[in-house]
Amino acid sequence: MYKIFYSPGACSLASHIALAETGAAYEAVRVNFAAGEQRSPQYLSVNPKGRVPALVTPKGILTETPAILVYLAQTFPAAKLANLDDRWAFAQAQSFNSYLCSTVHVHHAHRTRGTRWADDEASIEGMKKKVAQNMSDAFLLIEREMLKGPWVTGADYSMCDPYLFTLSSWLESDGVDIATFPKVSEHYKRMLQRPATQKAAKEQGLSL
């Protein structure tokens, strides 16, 4: 059985949804960040980075959202989480997920994790003030250039969709109105209707 370690509403939601899409048996384990469980010896033995997600698989433990999504897509081809027969399409999907990981997530993290980059309080506050603009700019690019519709890669649902959905769910807390981006907004609503999204949200205790 697979085991997914998550924190409610964190980026681990993307892997959680994708895992639910596969139909595989799994256990969802909450890591209570407020209580500092991510730094406990027990969890550090699972993921020494002290972050989520972490996926326990028959071959070992995987971390980092893009890697987990690719693993699930390749391990469960019947779930059709990626076009595995087209190298170009597969690379494009990974390019999109890499952008979410390396740029969009980092923009968001500057609001609550400024101490990763600075110790000076004024610098941390300056980073917070830039979050809404940086997230808006990133989602404008996604809206205009990346989201092909109705799903990220076009007609077919893929591993990109739960990842975009998860980061879209952060917009309101970052001071950005999702309605500013009609395609992203419609994508978010479409994702809410998927049974796997509903299953993962229920397991995490989320009201989306």
3-state secondary structure 144-162: HHHCCCCECCECCCCCHHH
Segment 17-40 shows an average pLDDT of 97
Query: Mean pLDDT, the chain, as a whole number?
Result: 97
Domain 2-80+198-204, CATH: 3.40.30.10
Q: What is the pLDDT of residue 143?
A: 98
CB 118 within 8 Å of CB 127: yes
CB 131 within 8 Å of CB 111: yes
Segment 8-15 shows an average pLDDT of 97
Q: What is the pLDDT of residue 114?
A: 81
Rg (CA), the chain: 17
Q: What is the pLDDT of residue 84?
A: 98
CA angle 105, 107, 110 (to 5 degrees): 110
In this structure, what is the dihedral angle of CA atoms 14, 17, 20, 24, given to the nearest 10 degrees? 0
Sheet containing 26-30: give its strands across.
26-30, 2-6, 54-57, 60-63
Which tens digits make up the pLDDT trace of 127-174?
Answer: 999 999 999 999 999 999 999 999 999 999 999 999 999 999 999 999
Segment 50-71 shows an average pLDDT of 98
Segment 171-185 shows an average pLDDT of 98
Fold type of domain 87-194: Glutathione S-transferase Yfyf (Class Pi); Chain A, domain 2 (1.20.1050)
Q: What is the pLDDT of residue 50?
A: 97
Q: What is the pLDDT of residue 112?
A: 87
What letter would DSSP give residue 7?
-
Residue 69 has pLDDT above 90, yes or no: yes
CB 54 within 8 Å of CB 29: no
Q: How many residues does the chain have?
A: 208
Q: List the structure tokens of 204.
A: 């995490």
Could you give the 3-state DSSP secondary structure of residue 54? strand
Q: What is the pLDDT of residue 208?
A: 81
Where are the domains positioned within the chain?
2-80+198-204, 87-194
pLDDT band at 48; cut points 50, 70, 90: very high
Q: Are strands 26-30 and 54-57 parallel, antiparallel or unpaired?
A: unpaired
Could you give the 3-state DSSP secondary structure of residue 5? strand
CB 132 within 8 Å of CB 175: yes
Q: What is the pLDDT of residue 125?
A: 92
Q: What is the pLDDT of residue 168?
A: 98
